[in-house]
Structure 1
Amino acid sequence: DSGSAAGSVAVVSGGVGAARFLRGLMDVVDHERITAVVNTGDDTVLHGLDISPDLDTVTYTLAGAIDPERGWGLVDESWRAMESLERYATVRPEGSAAAPRWFNLGDQDLATHFYRTARRREGASLTEITAEIARAWGLRLNIVPMTDDRCSTVVTLAAVDGEAPTDVSFQDYFVRLRHSVAVQAVRFDGDARLSDTARRAFTDARTIVIAPSNPIVSIGPMRSLPGVDELLASRRTDTVAVSPIVGGAALKGPADRMLVELGFEASVVGVARLYADIASVLVVDTVDEHLADEVERAGMRCVVAPSIMSTPSLAADLARITLAAGRTVSDIE
């Protein structure tokens, strides 16, 4: 079990930001010593297919196959299947959910969903399937879903023009509505628990890193699982978080707006207040150096470093600094 090897690193992971951090980490740590525990609150079913967007973004990025422009999906992708669905829009009965086109699935990407869905129908767990998919892409690190159970992120949209607030799935909010509407609340539905494999990763790792992912909808689903906050709190001195907020803004996605809409501060100080109970160190970008004292007053040691992973070498540098911030770099390298 390489996840429990001496000097191993467990990374609490969401999508794009986590994937880029993990790519940098792979340049400085033996791959077998890395376990990415990945959010599955975004998972959905479309066209009868089981889709795990964050797991796939992490897998494709680490395999060097991600589309570099979009940050999701596969490079050199084609979209013939989605285009062909338009034929059926004219015959689809009123109220039918058949042949949706608002969530694009590329032709090559479909193969992953076909495989995952068929294996689930055979009774394989998401943990087993994810390991198989990672091996198929030639990856040696451990990619682990946070749970083998169903956990769904539900977003309550703020009331508009006197209408009542509306609950939608995360993918409805993020993709169909392009996260352009205000959020009133977020909750996590399902009777899910942290998988045994994920629990071992957190328990046995020398260092735990909370990746620069959206604290509400990428890290939040994992923290909502019973006992996870308590487990992370018990490992607090070995846990380092990397802020996804830089200069008061999210580099990608709606994290900054969501924080404000849900009553938090969209700054590294706001991130520190969210993570102080479960992590002892926060790595912040150099543009936020002036807030270091406030981060420390919020209860976390503050480490200032360039954190925008615009090149692989910068991502590797950030990984080195993050590990050093956890005072464990000598155990890892």
Structure 2
Amino acid sequence: MSLSYAVHERSDRRPAQERDAILANPGFGKQFTDHMVRSTWTGDRGWHDAQVCAYGPFQLDPAAAVLHYAQEIFEGMKAYRHADGSVWTFRPEANAARFNRSAQRLALPPLEEADFLESLKQLVQLDVDWVPDSTSGESSLYLRPFMFASESFLGVRPAQEVTYSVIASPAGSYFTGGLKPISLWISEHFSRAGKGGTGDAKCGGNYAASLAAQIEASENGCDQSVFLDSVEQKYVEELGGMNVFLVYQDGRIVTPALTGSILEGITRSSIIELAKDLDLRPEEKRISLEEWRADAESGQITEAFACGTAAVVTPIGRLLSTKGEFRTGPEGDGGPVATRIRESLLDIQTGRAEDTRGWLTRLA
């Protein structure tokens, strides 16, 4: 570890009564803890001035490179309080590795894994009272590490000043009304990413590119959009922020193969490993939309689900487009396979099941 984090605890923390009221109904990404992590990188000094300080606004010059060229990346993970009061997070080493892959693609400086993990620990230990109780259902503390070009310069080149930060937000259960299948709009006019682009990096531009399709989905009564490949508009890639799995009658669970334009989700890779414990056969391959439709209509595909950090596992019910629609799973609460995978992941994350793979890291 090359960084040492100076801790500047604020004297005006939110009162316990106000904090408890927020934790009782946190929503997602609306409220934030008392502190944040900050560190600076420059071309001549590398990473320096690492600190945990009061949560508050950044002061950015109007010429800050991130505002003009979108040179930024981020990660997302959750911290869970276990029954004994300790706080753990899930596979942060994988997040650190993906963070650095994203940094390389966006021409940002790498951050050592040890420094990444220490920044999480320092923040959670100082704001540990913001981690929801283990009896609060699926509530957790969402952690958002991010990095952006903060140099004031309008030339098109990699920035010579970069800011790294971590903020934290208490998050409630994604499904306030129970686990229900979502409907997907098949985007025919928009692509999330293209060959050779930034599709496999976790950067804001990819999410911005998905928003017009999300509006289109909402206008057609759907919850999310599903994107096809940008070359042939034939093969299924992912949703705006989640990966896709199809469950087959013969015990296979199939997910689109990584092609360079799909983000490799931590939840996705965990499901591939966990599937073997659940007597399922994971498979990665290119899946055409027509294959999905035909196999769903013939009954070979018994259910489908999307996965990601926020929702863990989300059943998929219907797919709609200008050419019609088809159902890809049972109605009601979602299929048994998606439910079993979801519960298995949550049991590990929350400490209800043994962590046989060493996926959990203690933060506090």
TM range (shorter): under 0.3
**Which structure is higher in strand share?**
2
Structure with max Cα Rg: 2
**Higher RCO structure (Cα 8 Å, ≥6 apart):** 1
**Which structure is higher in helix share?**
1
Question: TM-score, length-normalised on structure 2?
Answer: 0.23
Question: TM-score, length-normalised on structure 1?
Answer: 0.24
